[in-house]
């Protein structure tokens, strides 16, 4: 059996391709943003891959005697936004987009 050393030029090319892929992925992730609401629409949140962007609360649901209801609405809106963001990231970066062997 004969040993064939790796082609350094090809390895460097592949490494550069992987580096470009990661740069593209991080750039695209930074651009992801979703806006979601609770089921009533009283609380709306904007979430980015980097974190929470904004929360809007309809003043009609800001009753000091029902803080627990408001907390539930905020939590529901945040969960909806996180779910949408995960779906969007999955659609943007499906298995075909991460095929490193063909880069």
Closest among 34, 35, 21, 29 to 50, alpha carbons compared: 29
The closest of 20, 13, 23, 32 to 87, measured between CA atoms, is 32
Q: What is the pLDDT of residue 7?
A: 84
- d(CA 65, CA 15) in angstroms, rounded, equals 59
pLDDT tens column, 20-46: 888 887 777 777 889 999 999 999 999
Q: Where are the domains of the chain?
A: 30-85
Least confident span in 38-47, 56-65, 71-80, 82-91? 82-91
Report the pLDDT value the prediction gives residue 38, as an integer from 0 to 100. Answer: 94
pLDDT > 90 in the chain, percent: 41
CATH of domain 30-85: 3.30.1310.10
Task: Provide the pLDDT confidence category of residue 3 given band limits of 50, 70 and 90.
Answer: confident
């Amino acid at each position: 059996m004969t040993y064939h050393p790796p082609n350094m030029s090809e390895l460097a090319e592949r490494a550069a391709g992987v580096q470009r892929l990661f740069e593209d992925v991080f750039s695209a992730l930074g651009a992801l943003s979703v806006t979601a609401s609770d089921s009533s629409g009283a609380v709306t949140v904007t979430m980015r891959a980097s974190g929470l962007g904004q929360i809007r609360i309809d003043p009609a649901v800001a009753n000091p005697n029902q803080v627990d209801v408001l907390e539930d609405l905020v939590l529901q809106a945040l969960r909806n936004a996180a779910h949408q963001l995960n779906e969007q990231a999955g659609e943007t970066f499906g298995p075909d987009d991460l095929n490193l062997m063909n880069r």
